[in-house]
Amino acid sequence: MNGRATTAEKSRPRERGSVALLAVTGWAVPGAAHLWLGRRQKGLVFLIALPLMFVIGLLLHGRLFPFEPSQPLVALAAIADVGLGVPYLIAKAFGLGAGRVVASSYEYGNAFLIVAGLLNSLVVLDAYDIALGRK
Partner 1 sequence: MTHFLLLLLFAFFVSLVFAVLMRDEPREQLRTGGLLFGAFVGAALVLGWLMYPLPI
Instruction: Identify the residue among 40, 108, 128, 132 touching partner 1 (CB under 8 A).
Output: 108
Residue ranges in 31-90 that form contacts with partner 1 under rule CB under 8 A: 41-42, 45-46, 49-50, 52-53, 56, 60
Distance CA 83, CA 94 (A): 18
CB 63 within 8 A of CB 117: no
Closest distance of CB 17 from partner 1, Å: 25
The values of phi and psi at residue 121, to 5°, are -60, -40
Close Cβ partners of 123 (under 8 Å, ≥ 6 residues apart):
26, 30, 31, 33, 34, 46, 50
**Residue closer to partner 1 (CB basis): 76 or 125:** 125
- With contacts defined by CB under 8 A, how many residues of the chain interact with partner 1? 19
Contacts with partner 1, residue ranges (CB under 8 A): 41-42, 45-46, 49-50, 52-53, 56, 60, 105, 108, 111-112, 115, 119, 122-123, 126
